[in-house]
Amino acid sequence: DQQVKQNSPSLSVQEGRISILNCDYTNSMFDYFLWYKKYPAEGPTFLISISSIKDKNEDGRFTVFLNKSAKHLSLHIVPSQPGDSAVYFCAASGNSGGSNYKLTFGKGTLLTVNP
């Protein structure tokens, strides 16, 4: 039973355009959401997070939106750059603001940004 779903295995966009990566979750106890980025042969690196008390969090070119009623979040990258090409994982936890020791990950979306 997948509690965090990334239904698009891959996404291809042109450099300079917007990339939108989507994530759905089923567990209503999740209250903290994170996006990780992973390059081949490297470990995931943290990108951005959002607490369930917010509906938007922005960090430079990266913005995460949370729609709690739909149990849906999305990561927007504007403008997209070739260096953004990587696998993006959505992750969720149920311990907002405190110690998180159980992240549930989606399967990931491979983003390719074409020059």
Partner 1 sequence: NAGVTQTPKFRILKIGQSMTLQCTQDMNHNYMYWYRQDPGMGLKLIYYSVGAGITDKGEVPNGYNVSRSTTEDFPLRLELAAPSQTSVYFCASSRPHEKDEQFFGPGTRLTVL
Binding residues for partner 1 (CB under 8 A): 4, 9, 32, 34, 36, 41-46, 49, 89, 91, 93, 95-96, 98-108
Would you say 95 and 101 are in contact if contact means Cβ atoms under 8 Å apart? yes
Q: What residue type is 9 in one-letter code?
A: P
What's the closest the beta carbon of residue 103 comes to partner 1, in angstroms?
A: 7
Minimal distance, residue 81 CB to partner 1, in Å = 22
Query: Of 55 and 59, which CB lies nearer to partner 1 in the complex structure?
Result: 59
C-alpha 39/C-alpha 108 separation (Å) is 12
If the CB atoms of residues 20 and 103 are measured against partner 1, the closer one turns out to be: 103
Q: How far is the CB of 115 from partner 1 (least distance, A)?
A: 27
Q: Quick one: 74 or 96, whose CB is closer to partner 1?
A: 96
Neighbours of 102 (CB within 10 A): 8
